[in-house]
Amino acid sequence: MTPLRDVAKIIRSKNAGPFTITIDIIFDDEDCLDALLNLLNRKLVAQLYKVNSEDIEIIPYRPARAVKINIPRGTPSGHPGDTDVYGAQQHAPLLGLEVECG
């Protein structure tokens, strides 16, 4: 088992509009993507991010050997109390996810 941070090429988060954070995990090879897809489900993301699993979308995107995870923001972008206006630093809970590949 290897942590995702060591096998993924890109792990990034960003706003997709002011109410949603979209997280892209992109790999160099198909095997690691498949290994992650075997493991990844809404329940797991819900635990990692403390959000309701019904509000999570997981979308594999094979043209880029990638998977996209959409989660709702706690506070909308730029609203009082927001901590990340661009949503660019919300990927960290995924970095340590153990994947069987690489």
Partner 1 sequence: MEIRILSPTAILGYGFPVQSLEYGVSLEPDVIAVDGGSTDPGPYYLGEGVPFVSAKAVERDLFYLVKASTEREIPLLIGSAGGAGAEPHVNWTLERLRRITQKLGTRLKAGVIYTDVDKGELIRKIESGTYNKPIPHSRLSPLKTETISNTKRIVAQVGVEPFTQLLKEDVDVIVAGRSVDIAPFAALPWLKGMDKGLAVHLGKILECGAIAAEPGSGSDGMMGILRDNEFEVFPLNPSRRATMTSIAEHAMYERTDPFREHIPGGYSDMSSVLYEETGDGRVVVKGSRWIPVQRRLVKLEGASFAGYRFIVIAGARDPDFLSRIDGLVSKTLESIRELVGDEGYSVHLRVYGRDGVMGDREPEPRITHEAGLVFEVLADEKDKAKTVAGLVRSTLLHIGWEGRKTTAGNLAFPFSPSDIDAGRAYTWSVWHLIEEENFLEYSRMMLKEV
Total of chain residues touching partner 1, rule CB under 8 A: 42
The angle subtended at Cα 66 by Cα 90 and Cα 23, nearest 5°, is: 15
- Among positions 77-96, residues that touch partner 1 (CB under 8 A) are 77-86, 89-90, 92-93
Q: How far apart are CA 90 and CA 17, in angstroms?
A: 15
Q: What share of the chain is helix, strand, coil (3-state, %, to 5)?
A: 30, 30, 40
- Among positions 5-64, residues that touch partner 1 (CB under 8 A) are 10, 14-20, 22, 24, 26, 48-51, 57, 59, 61, 63-64
Residue 42 phi/psi, 5-degree rounding, is -65, -30
In the block, tokens 């996810």 appear at: 97
The nearest distance, CB 22 to partner 1, in angstroms, is: 5
Residues that bind partner 1 (CB under 8 A): 10, 14-20, 22, 24, 26, 48-51, 57, 59, 61, 63-66, 68, 70, 72, 74-86, 89-90, 92-93
